[in-house]
Amino acid sequence: MTTSTMAHERNGARRRPPRRALVPVLAPLAIWAGAAGVLALWWSDTSSVVGPADWLTGAGRMTGLLAGYACAVLLALMARTPLLDHGVGTDRLARWHAWGGRCTVSLALAHTLLVVWGYSVVSHTSVVGEATTLVLDYPDLLGGTAGFLLLVGTGVLSARAARRRLSYETWYYLHVATYLAVFLAFGHQLSNGADFVGNRSAQAAWYTLYLGVAALVVWYRFVVPVRRGLRHRLRVVAVCPEAPGVVSVHLGGEHLEELGGAPGQFLRWRFLTRGLWWTASPYSLSAPAHPRRLRITVKDAGGHSGALARLAVGTRVWAEGPYGAFTADRRTAPRVLLLAGGVGITPLRALFETLPGEVTLVYRARRPEDLALRGELDAIAARRGATVHYVVDEPARFSSPLTARALTGLVPGLASHDVYLCGPPPMARAAVLALREAGVPARRIHHESFAF
């Protein structure tokens, strides 16, 4: 199913703002520099290491310091600061956060085992007996143990195999519990950490780190959303079906130009009605933002998303964001392919309307009736002289495999394109492999994931 190709605009590719382009490089450097500073703290406070007990407790101190530092870094990555979110991108931040979470849990486990083992060697007691003594007799260690168990439990339930069985809402509030875990661990470190007891400079540095991160979290995750909710007074003005199980929610409000949402970005939406008010879920803008209205298009995946089809007109809404770097700023080439799968069309529909230059859209779905927003896409293609390819699994005559050969047949000169890709994880993985095989450099494949 293809519209005819017509003349294209040929504007130059947009460049990312220089400051944002540096963020993905400078942020990891800053994180590793902080880790080096933490190790320097341990080194400066260690005069000598003699015997097994010193080696064990020294390693336990080191891993404990790194685990405490990593907790602060994890919170900073998810504080939703605009510079990080727009410069690095939500997807990449989530990958950094996931990798850092695994490291943090591993460091916390190593710290616990090494310290208990080292102390048991010094006191000539069993490991179990020493662990009991430490937890019950040392100040703040009972709370630190609770924080440790919370952290490990969150890590286990965030593993890929377990995460597939969790709803987004459960996953979200499970991670909110990590704030308590970090708070408990922070108190334990200052009360018992050999590198902090009596060391005012180290204490001041640790307080500065944690209070700075806490300020970012409170400001961007709580204060800003409340201020915007009161300022913009968003309300649901219409809910319209777009395809089986897919609806568009139209929202009206005031001063919406101040939100600054760019095509391709998403916001976290909190609908203030029964059953939905307690969580903020991420949905992309499916049309360019307007000073008086916004629109999201959502597929029923159960829970929160399924309830949106039943929203009453007039329902109050709070919006957090905009978030994400899946915007025109990523573009580096004059020609662009937008590759959508299912409801992944939502951010690409907004980009399709606004990206300058030669743009081709390939939209994959299971059946023709599942092609949401098709009328709008055809109208945009006709207006700007762009090409749309609709690929469906059924009926078979309109199907096409997601391979390098098939994509190259649909999009001549594919290797010279930037590609914006959005769809379910299995489709996205297959698409990346096909695009790389077709010669598209990895730096030109811009991906937005549905995974959490």
Domain regions of the chain by residue span: 45-228, 233-323, 328-449
Buried b (16+ CB within 10 A) or exposed e, 276-312: beebbbbbbbbbbbeeeebbbbbbeeeebbebbeebe
The mean pLDDT of 266-280, rounded to a whole number, is 87
**Structure-block tokens of residue 102:** 């695994």
Per-residue pLDDT band for 169 (boundaries 50, 70, 90) equals low
Per-residue pLDDT band for 19 (boundaries 50, 70, 90) equals low
Distance CA 416, CA 21 (A): 21
The mean pLDDT of 257-282, rounded to a whole number, is 87
Pairing type for strands 358-365 and 335-341 reads parallel
pLDDT, residue 197, reads 73
Q: Identify residue 220 by its one-letter amino acid code.
A: Y
- For residue 127, pLDDT over 90 is answered with no
Per-residue pLDDT band for 358 (boundaries 50, 70, 90) equals very high
Q: Count of alpha carbons within 13 Å of 107, Cβ hemisphere only?
A: 19
- For residue 106, pLDDT over 80 is answered with yes
What pTM value is reported for the model? Answer: 0.75
Tell me the CATH number of domain 328-449, given options 3.50.50.60, 1.10.10.10, 3.40.50.300, 3.40.50.80: 3.40.50.80
- For residue 376, pLDDT over 90 is answered with yes
**Structure-block tokens of residue 442:** 């990895």
Stronger pLDDT, 11 or 210, i.e. the higher one: 210
pLDDT, residue 6, reads 31
Q: Quick one: what percent of the chain has pLDDT higher than 90?
A: 40
- Looking at every residue in the chain, the average pLDDT score rounds to 84
- For residue 4, pLDDT over 50 is answered with no
Tell me which of 17-21, 60-64, 255-259, 340-344 is least confident.
17-21
Distance CA 340, CA 362 (A): 6
pLDDT, residue 450, reads 52
pLDDT, residue 362, reads 95
Per-residue pLDDT tens over the stretch 380-430:
999 999 999 999 988 877 778 899 999 999 999 999 999 999 998 889 999
pLDDT, residue 12, reads 40
- For residue 280, pLDDT over 70 is answered with yes
Equal CATH topology for 233-323 and 328-449: no
Tell me which of 57-66, 79-88, 191-200, 256-265 is least confident.
191-200
Per-residue pLDDT band for 134 (boundaries 50, 70, 90) equals confident
**Structure-block tokens of residue 137:** 């007799």
- For residue 8, pLDDT over 60 is answered with no
Which top CATH class is 233-323?
mainly beta
With a CB cutoff of 8 Å and minimum separation 6, the contacts of 261 are 267, 285, 289, 294, 321, 322
With a CB cutoff of 8 Å and minimum separation 6, the contacts of 106 are none
Per-residue pLDDT band for 438 (boundaries 50, 70, 90) equals very high
Per-residue pLDDT tens over the stretch 205-253:
889 999 999 999 999 988 988 888 889 999 999 999 999 999 999 999 9
Pairing type for strands 445-449 and 418-423 reads parallel
Q: Using CB atoms within 10 A of its CB, is residue 27 exposed (0-12), middle (13-18) or buried (19+)?
A: buried
pLDDT, residue 451, reads 52
Q: Identify residue 415 by its one-letter amino acid code.
A: A
Q: Which of 156-165, 296-305, 401-410 has the highest mean pLDDT?
A: 401-410
pLDDT, residue 251, reads 95
